[in-house]
């Protein structure tokens, strides 16, 4: 597995990380604990050193799972987790309001202490603000994480789904190592100024959902259905109509994959890796065969001609459906 450095001051990690959320949260019922522990440990043996979790996944259970799996391998891995939600409030009881944000400095410290215990570690390698809290100035958030860094409880500060202005303000207080935003061939908003800003400031980009929450793998179509516990069942982009309309993007990846003797998933990930040397996607999976398929993307070589062909063809494809319901979308890009 190749290595990459997240920005100027960030950690050196495997070129592809592993998003762990779906092992316990959001993509249907929680998966078998021992199988997931075995998968993460196998990932390390395959060269993956970057693992992504969050307090809110579960809540708590995903951090506990990651902590148990990686404790024996702690000196070989970089673990990222996140703060920013009030996990005492059940969003299902909020009558459509959605999750409640909380990035008050005292809460950030509480989350850090809890995450350290659940992750079975004495330091959090990368601590992201999960979503920007409009009620707490980002300078206060950056200052709170800065204190944790000074105390040796956190190594690096990150932001998730943050807009350009927020990134600049936070970075002026405490250098931001990485920004985690959704980015893939079917969601390219980071190209509208964010990537340019990160390059200017020397900050890494960690694309989540680099495979379009599974859609870009080619494993689903307009007839695909989702369990009630799978959050894709509530996403506008995963209605039968949207899936049918967006199939053109998967067909494009399939054509390139055929030319390269590869798979759509590998081409989608290779396209991201080719954008910048400081981009580290974190595809999630619960299956060993998918892990190996994803990791194979680092061996795929996309020439400038290939990239031009993909961009030209993709520009002709209109992606249908919003990525989140409106109440959730409003929490992104601030």
Measure the CA angle with vertex 22, ends 310 and 301; round to 5°. Answer: 25
Distance of CA 210 to the CA centre of its chain: 8
Alpha helices, H only, the chain: 33-45, 61-70, 105-118, 138-150, 164-173, 194-201, 240-245, 247-260, 264-275, 288-295, 304-315, 326-329
| Residue 181 CB contacts under 8 Å (≥ 6 apart), including other chains | 160, 161, 162, 189, 190, 194, 205, 206, 207, 208
Measuring CA to CA, how many Å separate 21 from each of 25, 132, 160, 192?
A: 6, 20, 15, 27
Cis peptide before 254 (omega within 30 of 0): no
Q: Has 57 been annotated as catalytic?
A: yes
CA-CA distance, 166 to 224, in Å (whole number)?
Answer: 38
Tokens of 194: 């964010």
Sign, CA torsion 65/69/75/80: negative
Measure the CA angle with vertex 137, ends 133 and 142; round to 5°. Answer: 95
CA-CA distance, 246 to 259, in Å (whole number)?
Answer: 21
Relative orientation angle of helices 247-260 and 264-275, to the nearest 10 degrees:
90
Tokens of 332: 């992104």
Instruction: Select which of 27, 57, 183, 208 is catalytic.
Output: 57
- The residues carrying an active-site annotation are 57
């Amino acid at each position: 597995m190749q290595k990459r450095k997240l920005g100027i001051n960030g950690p050196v990690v495997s070129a592809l990380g592993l998003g762990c959320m779906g092992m316990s949260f959001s993509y249907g019922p929680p998966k078998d604990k021992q199988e997931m522990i075995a998968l993460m440990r196998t990932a390390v043996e395959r060269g993956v050193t970057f693992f992504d979790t969050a307090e809110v996944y579960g809540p708590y259970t995903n951090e506990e799972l990651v902590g148990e799996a990686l404790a024996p391998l702690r000196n070989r891995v970089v673990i990222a987790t996140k703060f920013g939600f009030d996990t005492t409030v059940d969003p299902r009881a909020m009558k459509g309001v959605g999750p409640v944000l909380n990035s008050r400095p005292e809460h950030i410290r509480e989350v850090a202490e809890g995450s350290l215990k659940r992750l079975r570690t004495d330091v959090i390698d990368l601590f992201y603000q999960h979503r920007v809290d409009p009620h707490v100035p980002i300078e206060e958030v950056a200052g709170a994480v800065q204190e944790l860094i000074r105390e040796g409880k956190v190594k690096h500060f990150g932001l998730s789904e943050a807009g350009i202005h927020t990134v600049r303000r936070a970075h002026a207080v405490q250098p931001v190592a990485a920004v985690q935003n959704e980015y893939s061939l079917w969601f390219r908003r980071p190209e509208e100024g964010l990537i340019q800003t990160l390059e200017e400031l020397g900050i890494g980009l960690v694309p989540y959902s680099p495979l379009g929450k599974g859609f870009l793998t080619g494993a689903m179509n307009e007839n695909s259905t989702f369990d009630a516990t799978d959050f894709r069942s509530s996403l506008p982009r995963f209605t039968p109509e949207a899936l049918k309309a967006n199939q053109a993007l998967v067909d494009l990846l399939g054509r390139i994959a055929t030319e390269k003797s590869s798979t759509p998933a590998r081409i989608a990930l290779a396209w991201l890796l080719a954008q910048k040397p400081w981009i580290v996607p974190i595809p999630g999976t619960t299956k060993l065969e998918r892990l190996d398929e994803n990791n194979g993307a680092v061996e795929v070589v996309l020439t400038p001609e290939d990239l031009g062909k993909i961009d030209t063809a993709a520009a002709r494809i209109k992606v249908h459906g919003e990525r989140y319901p409106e109440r959730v979308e409003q929490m992104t890009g601030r």
